[in-house]
């Protein structure tokens, strides 16, 4: 598809430039027109028409391709939702009739895996909506969202202790996008706190504090934390793109984002929300 598109654009561009030079030669050498303003107006109209045609030739196939991908994604998501819901429902039914501790632990692992699949489903649905330029905002209780994310991450990091001090706070925001931001910040906190497995999360006065007690960062490292692919510790797994994504989201949603960090003491991430 894209090879043919490049060929078509090249042919049209080559033809347009040749026609432009031919028309210019005709007016200057054959007609010998003296009215420069008229000549410039004719050339401007020709260039504008050529630009519109080239943009249409290049963009329309891409729009059609993206539309087909979005339709495929939506249909795939619709088909995934039913088996995930079926698995979760049946797990709950089986747990009611199971008393052995070993079987209950196995069922819990399956349920956690389904919860992760459900999370990926929600994120894909969110990505499709954002690519469609739909504004995604809703009113919700921020403390409840934080508890929900901590409960989800507790299953992923059972060795971590989460200390919560949350004040009820009603906000209007992109709930799914904010969930990804909270997950990312907590995940970084866990990743860089390998010796002290504690994360403290506090919410008051429309400000969310997420504090770890890990390696921390100096002033030089803090200057680079938003750079894509930057990692303060090269031994850590991952691609270093998390905080750049967090920064873009906070800028889009008018959320104040700041860091307080001290080497060998830890890091606190602050999210300041607008008061409704």
Question: What pLDDT digit, counting tens, does each position of 164-175 carry?
Answer: 999 999 999 998
For 163: left if phi > 0, alpha if psi spans -120 to 50, otherwise beta; the answer is: beta
pLDDT of residue 85: 75
Alpha carbons 168 and 206: distance in angstroms, whole number: 9
Angle at which helix 101-131 crosses helix 175-191, to 10 degrees, equals 120
Return the pLDDT at 191. Answer: 83
Q: What are the beta bridge partners of residue 208?
A: 203, 271
Distance (Å, rounded) from C-alpha 229 to C-alpha 47? Answer: 41
> Could you list the pLDDT tens digit for every one of the 276 residues in the chain?
556 666 767 677 777 777 777 777 676 667 676 667 776 777 777 777 777 777 777 677 777 777 777 677 666 666 776 787 788 788 888 888 888 888 888 888 888 888 778 777 777 777 766 665 556 788 999 999 999 999 988 888 888 999 999 999 999 999 888 998 998 899 888 888 877 889 999 999 999 999 999 888 888 888 878 765 445 554 444 334 468 888 888 998 999 999 999 888 899 999 999 886
Would you say domain 138-272 falls under CATH 3.20.20.140?
no
Residue 172 pLDDT: 93
User: What pTM was computed for the model?
Assistant: 0.59
Token pair of 73, please? 């994604």
pLDDT at 270: 95
Q: Is 159 in a helix, a strand, or coil?
A: coil
Beta strands across the sheet bearing 256-262? 161-166, 198-204, 207-212, 266-272, 256-262
| 228-239: pLDDT as tens digits | 544 555 444 433
Domain boundary assignment for the chain: 1-134, 138-272
The two tokens of residue 104 are 């209950």
d(CA 3, CA 270): 47
Query: What pLDDT, on the 0 to 100 scale, is given for residue 237?
Result: 43
């Amino acid at each position: 598809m894209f090879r043919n598109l490049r060929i078509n654009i090249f042919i049209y561009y080559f033809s347009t430039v040749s026609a432009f030079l031919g028309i210019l030669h005709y007016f200057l050498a054959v007609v010998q027109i003296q009215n420069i303003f008229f000549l410039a107006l004719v050339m401007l109209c020709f260039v504008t028409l050529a630009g519109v045609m080239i943009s249409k030739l290049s963009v329309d196939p891409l729009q059609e391709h993206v539309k087909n991908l979005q339709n495929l994604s939506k249909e795939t998501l619709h088909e995934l939702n039913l088996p995930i819901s079926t698995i979760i429902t049946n797990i709950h039914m089986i747990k009611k009739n199971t008393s052995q501790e070993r079987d209950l632990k196995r069922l819990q692992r399956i349920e956690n895996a389904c919860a992760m699949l459900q999370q990926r489903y929600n994120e894909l649905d969110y990505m499709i909506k954002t690519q469609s330029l739909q504004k995604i905002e809703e009113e919700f209780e921020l403390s409840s969202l934080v508890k929900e994310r901590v409960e989800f991450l507790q299953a992923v990091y059972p060795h971590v202790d989460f200390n919560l001090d949350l004040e009820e706070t009603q906000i209007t925001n992109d709930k799914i996008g904010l969930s990804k931001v909270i997950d990312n910040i907590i995940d970084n906190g866990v990743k860089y706190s390998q010796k002290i497995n504690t994360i403290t999360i506090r919410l008051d006065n429309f400000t969310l504090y997420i504090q770890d007690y890990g390696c921390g960062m100096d002033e030089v490292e803090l200057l680079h934390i938003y750079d894509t692919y930057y990692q303060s510790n090269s031994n850590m797994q991952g691609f270093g793109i998390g905080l750049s994504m967090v920064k873009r989201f906070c800028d889009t949603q008018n959320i104040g984002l700041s860091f307080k960090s001290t080497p060998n003491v830890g890091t606190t991430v602050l999210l300041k929300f607008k008061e409704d």
